[in-house]
Amino acid sequence: MNKNSKIAVLGASGLVGSAIVRKLLEKGYEKVIGTYKSRKPNFEGIQLFQVDLTNQSETETFFAEQAPEYVFLAAAKVGGILANNTYKAEFIYENMAIALNVIHSAYKYGVNKLLNLGSSCIYPKHAPQPLKEEYLLTAPLEPTNEPYAIAKIAAIKLCRYYNEQYGTNFISVMPTNLYGTFDNFNLETSHVLPALIRKFHLAKLLEEGDFEGIKKDFKKHSIGFGLDEKLDLSDNRSVLQILTHLGIKFSNTINNLEHKTSNKVTVTLWGTGKVYREFLHVDDLADTCVFIMENTDAWQLSPHHPKNNLEHRTLNIEHILPDYLINIGIGEDLTIDELAHVIKNIVGFKGEIHYDTSKPDGTPRKLLDVSNIKRLGWSYKIGLKEGLKEVYEWYKEN
């Protein structure tokens, strides 16, 4: 890519797409365009197009008329364990449709290079840790997100086989769990980290008896679970009922020091809290996506590519990557319980954390092996605690 290349970020309104747009503009790229489906992002200096990428005709029209040279495929239907387990048909259909339409259009209209964004949930539920790229399709997937994972695996294979049959320059990257500003804080559809931030924020407000603050939060961000329609902001009892449904409630406990009853707040989270997760700030992901687009081509990763002439050896990667797939992460993880306590302390919530073990945990561990991206010359910059503080401050202000 050069500074005058025409670059399309598909899904520019999402967490990942918006971060990639910001990174491209920060680096001085002059011809950045973006697509969105329904929620128009607030960017200055780029052209934005409303395109339903699940629609083949709309997708091909966009590629034919705009003729992007480079494409970041960041558009997807995403969500946490509850959303994945509830909207199974939507997750597999919409994500497969996006992949089919975009990847074929990129080939058909001569895109120079495409970067396909995936997810670490593509790997088997009980794969050895850390997860290497070659573990793809070596064992069964985690059932709670299998529809999404299958769609993302299909996108990886589409890129591979278009590369091998047509000589295209398509690369897939698999990021670990992401977080950052502009995340989704709807408690029904969000991922675990933004959900924890919001739950502990609401719990802190309840501790302080700040019902006006809770109502302000409910007005700003959708709650999910069909609760927005049931909420009566003029009645504090209605607010308490909603909070109880979300696992945030008063609990009468005995204060052992003073031997008297006091009202405290507890937060109940799904699962056991014992599963491990790795987290990457979305700005670091955007940085590595642009880095790969600037420095790596598909034929350098696999001998199966028709343009390959053993150049992949010059990249110093550990293994040949037949699926043109590179893991992106930090190479460290922690339990959900450890994460919850870190966020609890950052937010300033003083109450207790309980776990509903009748709810699913998901995959026991998803630590990525990031040795290949490190060998390519990239590593993360934003530490977890630093990033969490930034996101929480952004959430309060926005």
Residues designated catalytic: 148
Q: Which residues contact 146 (CB under 8 A, 6 or more apart)?
A: none
SS3 260: strand
Q: CA angle 335-135-328, nearest 5°? A: 60
Q: What is the DSSP letter of 303?
A: T
Q: Is 12 helix (H, G, I), strand (E, B) or coil?
A: coil
From CA 258, how far away is CA 73, in angstroms rounded?
A: 59
Q: Any idea which residue has 């558009």 for tokens?
A: 75
- Give the number of other CB atoms < 10 A from CB of residue 284: 23
Angle 332-182-185 from CA coordinates, rounded to 5°: 85
Long-range contacts of 50-56 (CB under 8 A, 24+ apart): 51/10, 53/10, 53/11, 53/97, 53/98, 53/101, 53/102, 54/93, 54/94, 54/97, 54/98, 54/101, 55/97, 55/101, 56/97, 56/100, 56/101
Written as six digits, the tokens of 53 are: 């990428």
| Ordered DSSP codes for 57-93 | HHHHHHHHHH--SEEEE-------HHHHHH-HHHHHH
Which tokens is 279 given?
Answer: 């987290």
Strand partners, 31: 6
